[in-house]
């Protein structure tokens, strides 16, 4: 089965991010294709490289990065939601006069068209969070 995953909640304030990660990992391990993981609303906070949880806590951002490296996942952050929450890549930093970036490796910023494309291309779109 070809799946799209949408994550609408941040990594530490809601169970949705952990559930999305576990679902995506299990689907990939069972041989399903995950076409894209789209981070929307507060879910864009899953893609900041500035996250530094305590050593005894899970590192949600690193888990997504490791999964993306292992399975060549497309991790897309919504540009409008990212701008509202201060998630910046090189292109957005240049366009908006910012002096640095904070997007994690393996994540990229793009528009809602990426979510629509994923929904069209996939058998199912699974949404985590409100």
Quick check: helix, strand or coil at residue 6?
strand
122 given a catalytic annotation? no
Calpha distance 67→105 (Å, rounded): 12
Calpha distance 75→39 (Å, rounded): 8
**Catalytic annotation, pick one of 68, 76, 78, 118:** 78
Strand bridging mode 33-39 / 107-110: unpaired
Q: What residues contact 120, with CB distance under 8 A and at least 6 apart?
A: none
Catalytic residues: 78
């Amino acid at each position: 089965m070809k799946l799209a995953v949408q994550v609408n909640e941040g990594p530490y304030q809601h169970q949705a991010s952990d559930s999305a990660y576990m679902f995506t990992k299990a689907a990939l391990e069972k041989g399903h294709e995950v076409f894209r993981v789209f981070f929307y609303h507060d879910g864009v906070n899953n893609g900041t490289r500035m996250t530094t949880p305590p050593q005894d806590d899970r590192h949600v951002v690193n888990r997504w990065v490791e999964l993306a490296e292992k399975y060549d996942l497309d991790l897309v952050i919504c540009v409008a939601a990212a701008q509202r929450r201060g998630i910046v890549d090189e292109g957005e930093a240049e366009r908006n006069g910012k002096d640095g970036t904070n997007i994690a490796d393996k994540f990229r910023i793009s528009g809602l068209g990426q979510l629509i494309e994923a929904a069209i291309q996939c058998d199912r779109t699974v949404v985590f969070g409100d």
